[in-house]
Structure formats: structure tokens, C-alpha cells
Amino acid sequence: MKLAEESYLTDDFLRQLINVGEVDILVGLPTHNNAKTIRSIVQTIQSGILRGFPRERAVIINADGGSRDGTPELVTGISIDDVRRASNPYALRTLHSISTKYASSPASEVAFRTILAAAELLRAKACVVMSPESANIEPEWLSKLLRPIYRDGFDLVTPTYRRHKLEGLLITNFVYPMTRALYGLRIREAYSQEFGFSGRLGSQFLEQNVWNDGSGETGVDLRFTLAAITGRYRICQSFLGEKDHVERRAADLVPALRQTAGALFSALDPDFPVWSAVAGSETVPTTGSDREVLLAPARVNRKRLREMFSTGVAELESVFQSILSPSTLAELQRIAGTGEEEFHYPAELWVRTVYEFAAAYQKSVISRDHIIQALAPLFRGRVFTFLMENRNASADDVENNIEGLCLEFERLKPYLLQMWKSRE
């Protein structure tokens, strides 16, 4: 047992882990006030383990960020007997559920670190992290995320989902194209709240400096995927089904940008030797579809998106002068002045914007968090164009548009490299 782990794992938690002994499967469940959904999620997890891994030793580790609605008690109090009767009456093993409060306020990186430390101490062979908010989780998700690791020797399994064409636009317009262009692997959901990983990848990531240099404070899930890529671990994707969350919030964009853009930008410097040598991109092994698109009509306030873009470009001019090149800023100002019908934020300009933001982040031209926040209004402009382009598009058309954007990210990669090399 390492001293470093002892310092952030409580004595009571360590005692419970020792009582469990070694396990084959570990399910990590980070929570914070999830009483509404946690009962059905834990039962689904239990059912998934009983059906998919009846002979394996398994444990559910709940890392709680100070819930005040009794979430931890619900996790540990749910009896497995009801699930056992319905799922697999011949399951041989005991399924342990352990809950630990890692802090009085939620911090995803601490929760994940707690889960990784528990996995290392229990010598888990295959681990999976599940979101406490997934409204439509199925027992099969466990097998889909764990089986490639437990049976086929993969180290990381990222999910793919059936999603509405206008959902997850930060993933489709930024995270997926940029990680693909820079790291050379076509991983659809490099940032996800559900994923499987091997014990050895978990242990290797636990030892990385990411916890001490401050870069792991946001977007640790994305940093984990990037660590698997740069460490040349075996990665695959597994189709889970429809992705849905309990609720959507308009104010989520800036925190979402911190977790994705912040994590990706901060990884670029240490990963420079890897991504600078990559050209083009290749697919990763995928079980099932790599993405399915739903086309149901969605209500979106387009006017508000465009207004927030135009206001942002006008009001943040002094901030953008520090981040963007004069030509990019001039082009954005021209677009901001156009009417709704003529408004078009082209893919090439969006890619140049993102790359210039990445370079500015690296140079710390202003506070790094301010750089991330300044990206929000521009992303809204890009979303507006995406909505207009795909208003009546079929699933194939949407896919073609995303593919076109990815190719644009790959084509303009030398522009980023050029800015990176001239930073001194």
C-alpha cells in the first residue's frame, strides 16, 4: 500500500477495502445528491454484474462528494436479493457495495482518483465508471464496457451512443474532431462519464503527475483517455444505446468547456512529442455502431444563440485581441454583423479559432480560465451555423458534416504546429 494513497483515503474506507480483499470487477460510481436516480442505477449495475459476470468477484465503489440527500446510504442499503431473483439466481459471488465521502463538495478528479486508488488496492482486473445521472442505463452496458477488457485484453473502452443530432455539440464540433486530428485516433466520446478500463491503465494513470500539476482539476476523464492514447494502450469503442440525462441546463456551457477545452489544451504541452508526430487519423475497433443519430424535432432558441455570439464578439473585443490573430478577429466581427439569414461561421474559421485559442492557452496570454470562458460565445456562433446547416439534414448528412469538420481540423493541423513552434 502506498503512502500517497493513505493520505487521501480515509481509514474507514481502507478498512472496508481490506475486508473485501481482491476483486475481478470494480464499478466506480461518483455521486453528489443523486438520490432521485441512484436506486435504479445501482440495481441496474447489480443486475448487469449478476448477468454478465456471475462467477467473478465484484465490488461497487461509491465516491461521494458530500451528498445531503442520503445518496451514500441508498447505495449501500440497496439489497441485491431482489435483483438476484430477477437476474440470475445461480450467481455465486457476493457483491460488495462500499461508499466513501471523499470531500464535503463535489470534485470529479478526487472522486476518480479515489476509484483508481481503490481499484489498485483491490487489484481489480477490469473497472468501469458509471454516471449517476444516466436515466436510461441498461444492465448490458456493464458487459459492453467490461467484456473487451476482461476477455479481450483491451485497456480502455469508450462508449458510443445513439444521440439526437443536436445533442452533444461540444463533442461533435470540438472534442471529437480535435482529439482525432491531434492524436490520430477516431474516438467518438473521448470525454464520457461512462467508460471501462483495465487495472494496469488505472495504476499507470494514478502515478502520473496530472494530480499534482493542477491540470487534473477539470476534465480528468478526458485526460485519462489522452493518457491511454499517448501510452499506446489498447483502446476500443462499444455501442451502448441511447444517451440521455436527467436534466439539461443552459448554464452548463462554461463548466463543460472547462472540462473539455481546458483539459485538452492543458494536455497539449506535455503531449507535444506525441501529437506533433501524428499525421492523419485511423479508426479504433468498435463493437456495434460507432454512432447513431436521432432526427426528432427539437426546440432551440436560435435567435438567442446568434445574439449571444454577436454580443460576445462586440463586448469581448479587447480579450480577443490578446487571443486571436487580427485576420480571424476581423472575420468574426464581419460575421457578427450579418443578419440571421446570411450568418455563417464556416468550419475553416472555427478550426482556426480553436487552434488560436489553444496556442494562446499555451502562451498564457491572459488568465487561462479567462481564455476558456472567452470561447463560449464563439462556440454558440458555431452551434448556430451547425443548426442552420443541419436543420433538415438526414442522419447521413449530419455525419458528413461532422466528417467534413474533422477533415478541416486535420488539414489545418500544420497551422497549430506553426503557432506552437513560434511561441518562443
Interface with other proteins includes 59 (CB under 8 A)?
no
> What secondary structure letter does DSSP report for 201?
H
d(CA 5, CA 14): 10
d(CA 61, CA 284): 29
Do the strands 195-198 and 286-287 form a parallel or antiparallel pair, or are they unpaired?
A: unpaired
Q: Which residues ranging from 369 to 388 are in contact with other proteins (CB under 8 A)?
A: 370, 373-374, 376-377, 379, 383
* Size of site (CB under 8 A) for other proteins: 42
Find the shortest distance in angstroms from Cβ 314 to other proteins: 9
Determine whether 354 is exposed, middle or buried from the number of CB atoms within 10 Å of its CB (0-12, 13-18, 19+): buried
Q: Per-residue x/- mask for other proteins, residues 201 to 240, rule CB under 8 A?
A: ----------------------------------------
The span of 205-213, 285-293, 296-304, 350-358 binding other proteins (CB under 8 A) equals 296-304
Which residue, 311 or 394, is less far from other proteins as judged by CB?
Answer: 311
Q: What would the grid cell of residue 185 be? A: 485516433
- CB 305 to other proteins: min, Å: 9
Query: Which member of 20, 107, 156, 256 binds other proteins (CB under 8 A)?
Result: 256
**Closest distance between other proteins and the C-beta of residue 163, in Å?**
10
Q: Which stretch binds other proteins (CB under 8 A): 164-172, 339-347, 352-360, 393-401?
A: 164-172
Of residues 170 and 354, the one with the C-beta less far from other proteins: 170
Residue 422 interacts with other proteins (CB under 8 A)?
A: no
Per CB under 8 A, 249 contacts other proteins = yes
Look at phi and psi of residue 168 and say left if phi exceeds 0, alpha if psi is from -120 to 50, else beta.
left
Give the x/- contact pattern for other proteins in 342-361, rule: CB under 8 A: --------------------
**154 in Cβ contact with 53 (< 8 Å):** no
- Give me the count of residues in the chain: 424
Nearer to other proteins, 32 or 413 (CB): 32
When asked if residue 393 is in the footprint of other proteins (CB under 8 A), the reply is no
User: Which contiguous run of DSSP H or E holds residue 414?
Assistant: helix 413-421
Q: Which residue has the cell 443530432?
A: 165
Under a CB-based contact definition with an 8 Å cutoff, are residues 220 and 190 in contact?
A: no
Other beta carbons within 10 Å of 399: 17
According to the binding rule CB under 8 A, does residue 299 interact with other proteins? yes
Position 275 contacts other proteins (CB under 8 A):
no
Candidate ranges 27-35, 69-77, 286-294, 299-307; the one touching other proteins (CB under 8 A): 299-307
Decide: is 36 part of the binding site for other proteins (CB under 8 A). no
- In the three-class reduction of DSSP (H, G, I as helix; E, B as strand; rest coil), residue 241 is classed as strand
In angstroms, rounded to a whole number, what is the distance separating the alpha carbons of residues 48 and 46?
Answer: 5
- Here the contacts of 72-81 (C-beta below 8 Å, separation 24 or greater) are 72/31, 72/99, 72/101, 73/99, 74/35, 74/38, 74/39, 74/42, 75/29, 75/31, 75/38, 75/42, 75/99, 78/39, 78/42, 78/43, 78/46, 80/46, 80/50
- Report the residue from 14, 169, 294, 329 that binds other proteins according to the rule CB under 8 A: 169
Binding status of residue 170 toward other proteins by CB under 8 A: yes
Binding of other proteins at residue 260 (CB under 8 A)?
A: yes
Which of 248, 326, 339, 424 touches other proteins by CB under 8 A? 248
- The footprint of other proteins (CB under 8 A) covers 166-171, 191, 245, 247-254, 256-257, 259-260, 298-301, 304, 308, 311-312, 315-316, 319, 322, 365-367, 370, 373-374, 376-377, 379, 383
